[in-house]
Structure 1
Amino acid sequence: MKKLIVSLACALCAASGLRAQNYAFINSESVFKSLDDYNAAIEQLDNLAAQYRKNVEQAFAGLDEMYENYQAQKAYLSETNRNRREDEIVTREREINKYQQDVLGPEGDLMKKRVELIKPIQDKVFAVIDKYAKDNALGMIIDRTNNQTLLYYAPELDKTEEIINLLKQ
């Protein structure tokens, strides 16, 4: 009788263990790069970032020129004019740094534009992944992109192409 109970308990544990191991892998980078909307958004963001960086670099070049002119003329300026010019240089540097933060900072224009362009695409991808997981009774989908703790995965569990196909429907 004890053997029957122990065997039954082991069978139940094994059955519940099998249910807990329903998972799949995807490569989210491949999924996103397969979408034309995503690639267009990334290109637009890259162009915007390049323009912002160019504006910042030009502003700092102008500041350098302003400082070099001041250094060249410093010996000939009165103390009042020197102080005024130094204040102008410091003020200009603060303005440039503020502009740089306003456009390239973590809460700047570029990040806001990124959220505006990428978030709807991410939402769409995550919704498809969620639906795929529910339809296939998966308890977990693991992103293998840049996952440094993933030591091994079975390629037959990689469902990246299936997700891409669902997104293109």
Structure 2
Amino acid sequence: MKKYILLALFVTLAVTNNVNAQTRGIKVGYIDMEYILEKVPDYAEAKNQLEQKAEKWKQEIETKKNDIAKLKEALKTEKVLLTKELIAEREEEIAFQENELLEYTQKKFGPNGELIVQKAVLVKPIQDQVFNVVQDIAEAKKYDYIFDKSSDLTMLFAAKKHDISDRVVSALTRSEKRKEMTAKQLKLEEERERKQDMIDDNPALSDRQKQVEERKAARLKMIEDKKLLAEEKKAEAEANRKQLLEEKNNKKSGTVSDKPNTDNKDADTKTDAVADKKAEVEAQKKKSLEERQKLIDDRKKAAEEKRLKILADREAAKKAKEDAKNNKP
């Protein structure tokens, strides 16, 4: 019933603001409270401790169930040997323990049990912080409505571009970091936040930024591969130099051994290992370049589809506006 009331409220608000929407589009966003809570370190740690407690309670309940099952089985086996008074006494004991188990289960996992209460206590401070951050974002970015995806309000569809959960998580994280920053660090952080907000508000700019970062990562990977290959070549040359120097010293001292020369075999083995490593590096390099190219192509395709969709939406909005203007009395 509550979800229908909220849905009706949303429709009413949308209709009420229809006049304003003709001159300025309604800006709507949403958050996923469960997602945000999972990203907050303090909540994750406390939740882990609470889950450990719950697991311990479950084990105690399971142990108690097994004890009751054993009592029932013993009574079933010995029933023919017991008097009516002893049978009644045993049954009364089993019933008493079953009631105790039921009360304990309700106490720990019931609607008003310790698990629910402690979870509410754990979530409340973080929910308050999220509420304050959402208020700040709504005022700064001129949002008309911001909903909670994980609440009772049923959202049949929500475009990812309207999800500001990551922005809320970033704001919470920044507020913790700022407590330990100097004035200079705060200034740099504010500038970085400003740039990040510009990227978040402009999807096309965000895509370009991601492409730049991907190309940068690919270049760094290529440099690392070249560095690794150079180190391998250097190690190979050093091994060959030592071998030649050792052979030269043996010839000078006349202590050449009659045993089969295994140094050449070792050198060949090392050379083969280096060659295999080189081939592996080349294969990894080729694979990395192919993956990077595929990612770039996918990004270009997605950006083009997005551009076409934006143009189509604009054309549809323009047409709708013209129709509304023509149909106006």
**TM-score bracket for this pair, using the shorter chain length:** 0.7 to 0.9
Question: 2:149 touches 2:155 (CA, 8 Å); kept in 1?
Answer: no
What does 1:1-169 correspond to in 2, within 5 Å? 16-17=20-21, 18-19=23-24, 21-144=26-149, 149-153=155-159, 155-169=160-174
Q: Deviations over 1:44-63 (max 9, x none)?
A: 12111111111111111111
The alpha-carbon distance between structure 1 residues 156 and 103, as it changes in their structure 2 partners (threshold 3 A), is: closer
Please report how far the alpha carbon of residue 137 of structure 1 lies from its aligned counterpart in structure 2 after TM superposition: 2.6
SS at match of 1:24: strand
Please report how far the alpha carbon of residue 145 of structure 1 lies from its aligned counterpart in structure 2 after TM superposition: 5.1
The alpha-carbon distance between structure 1 residues 125 and 152, as it changes in their structure 2 partners (threshold 3 A), is: closer
Distance 1:151 1:130 in 2: 23
Moved more, 26-35 or 107-116: 26-35
The alpha-carbon distance between structure 1 residues 107 and 120, as it changes in their structure 2 partners (threshold 3 A), is: same
Question: 2:130 touches 2:172 (CA, 8 Å); kept in 1?
Answer: yes
Distance 1:75 1:40 in 2: 55
Q: Which has the larger radius of gyration?
A: 2
Question: 2:107 touches 2:114 (CA, 8 Å); kept in 1?
Answer: yes
Question: 1:102 touches 1:108 (CA, 8 Å); kept in 2?
Answer: yes
Q: How many residues get paired?
A: 156
Distance 1:20 1:97 in 2: 56
Paired AA for residue 136 in structure 1: K
Paired AA for residue 68 in structure 1: E
Show structure 2 runs of 5+ residues with no match: 1-16, 175-329
Query: TM-score normalised to the size of structure 1?
Result: 0.81
Greater helix proportion: 2
Aligned-residue RMSD, C-alpha: 2.3
SS at match of 2:90: helix
Query: TM-score normalised to the size of structure 2?
Result: 0.44
Task: Report percent identity of matched pairs.
Answer: 26
Please report how far the alpha carbon of residue 20 of structure 1 lies from its aligned counterpart in structure 2 after TM superposition: 6.4
Please report how far the alpha carbon of residue 127 of structure 1 lies from its aligned counterpart in structure 2 after TM superposition: 2.0
Show structure 1 runs of 5+ residues with no match: 1-12
Distance 1:149 1:30 in 2: 16
